[in-house]
């Protein structure tokens, strides 16, 4: 479960973050790791949260990535947002705050607060390759599966 509290993040945000982690990391690796916070792309675990691990992994031929952590954050984006948000490290709370900032910049937070889950996923699919409609040529989860994860994590859907 995300470590950021609901008071800081807002209604439905923690379940939404848990859904992104499930989508990006997968349930087995979430359970076998520090809830995804210490996972490199490809499934290897890293130690220590002082900084982004800065390890480039060949995911498959022609695809190399520095994605790391619960939200598979790329090194080049981490450096910018760490400075912008004055994040002290690559620890769980810093990763959560990074992810919330992404939700804010993509204008997904009002949708999440209002329980408009499918629309919020569509708004952030360009950030997380595992979300439906991302279009990065990687495996994309099904929206129905994501919705179920979100609800199990305590997320509320709009009645509309």
Provide mean pLDDT across the span 74-89. Answer: 97
Q: What pLDDT, on the 0 to 100 scale, is given for residue 159?
A: 80
For the residues 135-155, what does the mean pLDDT come to?
Answer: 92
Domain boundaries along the sequence of the chain = 6-152
CATH number of the structural domain 6-152 = 1.10.530.10
The question of whether 24 is a catalytic residue gets the answer yes
Q: Of 24, 47, 75, 140, which one is the catalytic site residue?
A: 24
What is the pLDDT confidence band of residue 71, given thresholds at 50, 70 and 90?
Answer: very high
Question: Phi and psi dihedrals of 130, rounded to 5?
Answer: -85, -10
- Exposure class string for 58-90: b at 16+ Cβ within 10 A, else e: eeeeeeebbbbbbbbbebeebeebbeeeebeeb
What is the per-residue pLDDT for 62? 84
């Amino acid at each position: 479960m995300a470590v950021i509290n609901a008071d800081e993040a807002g209604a439905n945000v923690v379940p939404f973050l848990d859904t992104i982690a499930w989508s990006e990391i997968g349930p087995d690796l979430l359970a076998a790791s520090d809830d995804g916070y210490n996972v490199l792309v490809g499934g290897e675990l890293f130690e220590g949260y002082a900084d982004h691990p800065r390890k480039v992994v060949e995911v498959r031929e022609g695809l190399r990535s520095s994605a790391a952590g619960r939200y598979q954050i790329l090194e080049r984006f981490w450096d910018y947002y760490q400075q912008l948000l004055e994040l002290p490290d690559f620890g769980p709370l810093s990763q959560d705050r990074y992810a919330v900032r992404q939700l804010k910049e993509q204008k997904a937070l009002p949708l999440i607060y209002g329980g408009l889950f499918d629309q919020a996923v569509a708004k952030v699919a360009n950030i997380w390759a595992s979300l439906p409609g991302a279009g990065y040529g990687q495996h994309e989860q099904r929206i129905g599966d994501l919705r179920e994860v979100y609800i199990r994590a305590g997320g509320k859907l709009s009645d509309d």
